[in-house]
Chain A
Amino acid sequence: MDIPKEILLTMYERMVRIRKFEEKASELFAKGLLPGFIHTYVGQEATAVGVCAALKPDDLVTSTHRGHGHVIAKGGEPQYMMAELYGKETGYCKGKGGSMHIADPDKGILGANGIVGGGLPIATGAGLSVKLRNSNQVVACFFGDGASNQGTFHESINMASLWKLPVVYVCENNLYGEFTPQKRHQAITDISQRATAYGIPGVTVDGMDVVAVYEATQEAIKRARAGNGPTLIEAKTYRFHGHFEGDPQLYRDQAEVQKWMERDPIPSFEKQLLESKVLTEEDLRKIREAVQREIDEAVKFAENSPYPADREAVEDIYTDLVEEGRVR
């Protein structure tokens, strides 16, 4: 691995942060402490982290309903995320968005999205803005195998390839669109094949291997920054939890889940780091412990934060207007 040590370290730390954040969120949800519903990223960490490690701080990402991983991978802070999951005033979105709509524009995170495939045109437009403003940024657009069947997939990639926009389309093929396995929602296995239809490169990469994802993304970014247009990266991955927390997962075999869990991206990355002597067991343990403390602090921060005031419900709809409130 000829990747600088600090990047490998950040990758590991962020993968662990995603895992521990999601495990905590899952636990809190099961206890009934989180409103709404959440879709966890457990198992897919290598994809978000591999992609975002190749991005610069001012590069942009669009995310999905399963977005916690993308936010953390791009530098999002667990305390504000956790507070958002609780619906608290201190959350990233003042509690107005929740799990599915976390955004941090200052870090280039243009928001998670509750509509499957909804982020694709947005990423494309962000790429257009980058091109028009000559800002040399790149946009990474995350979406799933399910979204690859939406019209927005076709409309967006057609547009981006036509205009050579600096967008990296990252299809996280976790083999299920909600409850439906890939073989029952599309007739192909490798979604990257669809790139051919747009005259752009399409690559399939092992989404459980953070280094492989990182390298494929670097290649795509190089192409994007050079003005040569988008790339479609398909990362084959797997979600270890259900579509949402509490999903009884009647649609899949536990043996399949077990098989994929044996390929857990975090232990395998640890092994790589140890074998190449980048980090020691001690280093890894320290990172895990520090992240665990950070997540525990995030929960305390969220729990100790107030709910938003009622009037917040009618603010932030427009920049210059407040809608009428209710007198009770």
Chain B
Amino acid sequence: MRKMSFAQAINEGIRHEMRRDPNIFLMGEDVRFGVFGVTAGLYDEFGEDRVRDTPITEEAIAGAAVGAAAAGSRPIAEIMFIDFITVAMDQIVNQAAKMRYMFGGKIKLPITYRTMAGAGISAAAQHSQSLEAWFTHVPGIKVVFPSTPSDALGLIISSIRDDNPVLFVEHKLLYAVEGEVPDTDEPIPLGVADVKRPGKDVTIVATGFMVHKALQAAEELAKDGIEAEIVDPRTLFPLDKETIYNSVRKTHKVVIVTEEVKRGAWSGELAADITEDIFDELRAPIKRVGSLNAPIPFSPPLEKYVVPNEVDIINAVKSIA
């Protein structure tokens, strides 16, 4: 095993794939240096053709990825903050996600859209959102949301190799998180969840940075004799329902923890799936923990108030345990 930060793991995965396949290229705003250094050093190895700084022009970045993929390349397109993806929505939602279908399967679009999400650094309302649910709502795109360096490495490789548009969401507070990764760069298949902590009393499904908050909460809960099982779906679509359901069949209680604004969240979709599919397994209402229905505020105490933390998770678990 090697030790690597989350940012380094993504960098490593991209580098590995770009060495393997000359058809892969990376473009986005300031990717030569990389915000938070995620893409740092790739320019030195692959040059300006394949590590391409773009103008600040999100719709053209997203759309150029569509055209490049349609013409035979395998682009990795970075939308620096997921908040900026609003500017690029037509190209992702109406073009990338729909072209294969509209054309009767005559085309494939191997695109990886990388983007940074999440609150926690006082970046305020336009640089802190968790908008991943918007994309799970659109058939034709896959949504990947890793929580550890090891998962980030394996999942970025699979995302790049996938022949479909993939939105790869990176929580900005994870970049500095270090962890063990395998010695060789191996893909982790999309649509396979991972049990991050085994337990028998309650299932906590958590995504992205909230996986770490859930792990902290689980340690506290254990002191009170509650053993939480933490399931990280890792990809929001395709979703590994079976791993989640198997956990629910064991614990019969579910808390879903995501950083999204709770209203209209992906967590609601999962809660609905569980009640539709395995309602009889439940012995308590499903609880959801998410951000308050507010924009992410700038002031640090306010930001902390809006975004869920381990206390919110503990309270939710205890309310049904």
Contacts and interface: CB of A to CB of B under 8 A. Distances in A.
Contacts of A318: 100, 140, 142, 164
B64 A121 contact: yes
A1 interface: no
B106 A93 contact: yes
Given A122-B63, A128-B64, 20 more contacts: A93-B104, A96-B102, A97-B103, A101-B103, A103-B106, A115-B94, A118-B94, A122-B66, A124-B64, A124-B67, A126-B67, A126-B68, A128-B68, A155-B60, A156-B63, A159-B54, A316-B105, A318-B164, A320-B162, A321-B238
A265 interface: no
Interface stretch (B6-14, B69-77, B197-205): B69-77
Nearest to B237: A321
Contacts of B49: 131-132
Interface in B93-134: 94-95, 99-108
B23 interface: yes
Contacts of B67: 62, 110, 121-129, 139
Nearest to A155: B60
A104 B63 contact: no
B60 A156 contact: yes
Nearest to B70: A110
17 contacts: A103-B99, A103-B106, A110-B71, A111-B102, A113-B95, A115-B95, A125-B63, A125-B65, A125-B68, A125-B69, A127-B67, A128-B68, A139-B67, A155-B57, A155-B60, A159-B55, A320-B162
A124 B105 contact: no
B62 interface: yes
A194 B313 CA distance: 56
A91 B105 CA distance: 12
A317 B100 contact: yes
B100 A121 contact: no
Contacts of A121: 59-60, 62-64, 66-67, 91
Contacts of B310: none
B139 interface: yes
Nearest to A127: B67
A295 B310 CA distance: 68
B101 A316 contact: yes
Q: By CB atoms of chain A within 10 A, which of B57, B67, B105, B142 has the most?
A: B67
A123 B70 CA distance: 10
A323 interface: yes
Contacts of A124: 60, 63-64, 67
Contacts of A323: 139
A129 B68 CA distance: 5
Contact of A317 (B25, B73, B91, B101): B101
- Nearest 7 interchain pairs by C-beta: A121-B63, A125-B67, A125-B64, A316-B105, A155-B60, A93-B104, A94-B104
Contacts, number: 157
A104 B64 CA distance: 19
A103 B100 CA distance: 10
A132 B73 CA distance: 8
B103 A111 contact: yes
B50 interface: yes
Interface residues of B, number: 43
A95 B102 CA distance: 8
B70 A105 contact: yes
Interface of B: 23, 25, 49-50, 54-55, 57, 59-60, 62-73, 75, 90-91, 94-95, 99-108, 139-140, 142, 162-164, 238
B168 to A, nearest CB: 16
Interface of A: 60, 62, 91-97, 101, 103-105, 110-111, 113-115, 118, 120-133, 135, 137, 139, 151-152, 155-156, 158-159, 162, 315-321, 323
Nearest to A312: B104
Nearest to B25: A132
A50 B196 CA distance: 61
Given A110-B71, A126-B71, A151-B59, A159 B64 contact: yes
Contacts of A158: 55, 57, 60
Given A103-B106, A129-B67, A111 B99 contact: yes
Contacts of B63: 118, 120-122, 124-125, 152, 155-156
A155 B59 contact: yes
B101 A122 contact: no
Contacts of A131: 49
Nearest to B73: A129
Q: By CB atoms of chain B within 10 A, which of A94, A115, A121, A125 has the most?
A: A125
Contacts of B23: 133
Nearest to A308: B104
A92 B104 contact: yes
